Amino acid sequence: MYYVARVINDECSKYNCKQCTLFCPEPNTLMYNDEKHHAYVNEERCKGCALCVYVCEHLLKRNAIKMVMPEVHAD
């Protein structure tokens, strides 16, 4: 098990920048919802590289994405 990216919606919607989506190396993983004005992560596709966190937190100083342990769903 590894960490995946999770967007903090309220924090992300303050900026409407979409920069994190440009840097995610995994297609269809980090996307932007134009209606809700925040990015979101398809956690099943996220490889845990944390590049989006680096862009958001370290380069842009926005702190709207964190790495978290994914929730385990019992079937």
pLDDT band at 74 (very low <50, low <70, confident <90, very high): low
> What pTM value is reported for the model?
0.87
What is the pLDDT, as a whole number, of residue 72?
Answer: 73
Tokens representing 22 are 């440009």
CA distance 28 to 46: 9
CA distance 60 to 41: 19
What is the pLDDT, as a whole number, of residue 66?
Answer: 97
Ordered by where they begin, the domains of the chain are 4-68 (3.30.70.20)
Q: Interior CA angle at 29 toward 17 and 44, to 5°?
A: 140
pLDDT of 21-70, one tens digit each?
999 999 999 999 999 999 999 999 999 999 999 999 999 999 999 999 98
